[in-house]
Amino acid sequence: MSRGILLVGCGKMGSALLTGWLRQGVAASDIVVVEPNPVSDLPAGIRQAASADAVPAGFSPALVMLAVKPQIMDAVAPAYAAYAGKGACILSIAAGKTIATLNRLLGGGAAIVRAMPNTPAAVGAGITVCCANAGVTAEQRAFCGDLLAAVGEVAWVEDESLIDAVTAVSGSGPAYVFWLAECLAAAGEKAGLAADLAARLASATVSGSGLLMRQSTDGPTQLRKNVTSPNGTTQAALDVLMAPDGLAPLMERAVAAAARRSKELAG
């Protein structure tokens, strides 16, 4: 199978993936980037085109990654139907755009993988959940998995409807964590800390705890218990956060709202 990749859209997520592919050993000559405005800082050897019509003649990609905003997907995707017709796998990371919608835009019969990455991919610490339609071969599935693994963990689901819940937990989840850091810093400031120190403590605590959780063999429940001494300061705070009206029901409502909005955006 050809290993050529046509990357349509080189924004933050597209750029993160591109960096990961090169780090993983994908040859620059195997990649063509499509962006309407020239990208000035592309690594050497990567060709770019302003539109589908300007892709170098003879370039026959094994995979077309659609990394454009969902708001413009309806206008962009049809231009790549010819590649799908020639057997290229279409990998979309556009939130809310279903496989059925993408297949319609591509003229039908396309091999499509829908993926939901998250922004920690920018530092190689993301997680992406994928769903493939029946047209995707085992080899294409493996290729997509390898490419996405360049920026973090990869998981697969067979039921596409679960992508809404994935979006609510991991796709939108980084924003929840950043808000936690903001709230923790604000609370520290109210407790008497200087604003810059409170912000520094909150940021380091959230990022460090995440790194500890990723590297530890213990799960979050055990890690929480490891920090909590009976009748100590942490327990006093957890009595508030773990109360019936504390963080758990609030997070449940937040995830439900995000999942509901994801369904709405999918139409």
Render pLDDT for 84-111 as a digit per residue (tens, 0 to 9).
Answer: 999 999 999 998 899 999 999 999 999 9
Q: Name the token pair of 112.
A: 């499509």
How does residue 2 score in pLDDT terms, banded at 50, 70 and 90? low
Architecture of the CATH domain 5-166:
3-Layer(aba) Sandwich (3.40)
Annotated domain spans of the chain: 5-166, 173-266
Q: What is the reported pTM?
A: 0.91
Average per-residue pLDDT for the chain: 95
For residues 103 and 193, give the distance between their C-alpha atoms in angstroms, rounded to a whole number.
Answer: 55
Give the model's pLDDT for residue 266. Answer: 78
Q: Specify the 3-state DSSP secondary structure of 238.
A: helix
Domain 173-266, what fold?
Answer: ProC C-terminal domain-like fold (1.10.3730)
**Euclidean distance between the first and the last CA atom of the chain, given in angstroms as a whole number:** 35
Q: Name the token pair of 38.
A: 């020239």
